[in-house]
Structure 1
Amino acid sequence: MRSWFPATSAPPPRLEATIDRRHLRRLFAPVAAVDGPTELAVADDGLVAASVDDAMVTAVQANLHRTLCDRYDATPGTVGVDATALADVLAAEGADGPATLGCDPDEETLTLEQSAFVHTQAVETDASVELPHVGDPPQGATTYHHGDALADALDYFEDRTEVVALGYDEVTDAFYVEPATTASQTATADTRYRRPRADLPARSTPGRLV
């Protein structure tokens, strides 16, 4: 029998949490780099942010466990949020320190409160991010790097970008690390750390990368 009553979406979650800003940056910066819609799931044991681009090619899921929070009080639920705006205001605050992240189910808003900046945004209560299904690759690859050299490269990018991309360039037969930026960010000088396969330890056997 068909019902003529309008369908109702699940109520937004309720969240009151005090979290260090460095943990929040690690939650929102990776999904903001995808530059697609972001879904924030509030669970009993923590937060999960997920985003996928329009082409359903690039997807990122980031987690923040409640044990990393100074205070965590939540009623589970899922909403759509603007991860880029959250990442930007976290970056603007700069130094690490406590911040308050709250979701008001009555107002349908998410508020990030820091010592200098307070950001409030409306949330989407019917948001749904479908992550692409990734099956087992037909052929894997394992690479070995000199730890000190790779650590130096990551230290260099740490002060310059929230997210880095690690990849392999078939043309130059080299592995690389480079900053990942969103469409909203201003283009800056491009710096890439690269290491030809011949320079890697002898145990590196990437084989045929697909």
Structure 2
Amino acid sequence: MISSVRGPVLEIGLDHAVVEVGGVGFAVFCTPNTLAGLRRGTETRLSTTLIVREESLTLFGFADADERELFLLLQTVSGIGPRLALATIAVLEPDVLRRALHDGDLVTLQRIPGVGKKSAERLVVELRDKVLVTPTAAPATLATPAAGGARRDQVVEALVGLGFTLKPAEQAVDAVLADKPDAEPALLLRSALSSLGRSR
């Protein structure tokens, strides 16, 4: 298992970054918040986990080991794969997710794209006793990288990559842009994911 990578950031996309390690560029899939904290050309260290499939090896990266542990924990639930687990952490901050699981807050859990009432109930049943809730949780500040010229198309492409069909992805992005026309790509992706989760 590749538990971390450290090196200069070569590229930053909407759903991944390329980190050079020993002369090799690793594509690491991350949440918008994690990507927002990276800067091209500067060194970074990401906690990672490698997902092995018959047809692929996919590396997922996180700002800290706490996010990685939640990512792995979510996948112990039937029907939750790595893409949905990553989308969950993208929509809900770790402390918010833990609180929702602990309290059985189905409304909050249904904000996760692809999670309906039954899936939310299953998450609570299977994970309630496995999460530790902290007394207080400071809200995280979302920093965003410089916006690209084709924000809408980039975010739609990232959503399709996460498993959404084209039309709902476009509608979600357009709705966010109508409300927040100056939204940076990371915030735009996060808001669109949240919107798609509520529409399920």
Length-normalised TM-score, structure 2: 0.26
Structure richer in helix, relative to its length: 2
Structure index of larger Rg:
1
Length-normalised TM-score, structure 1: 0.26
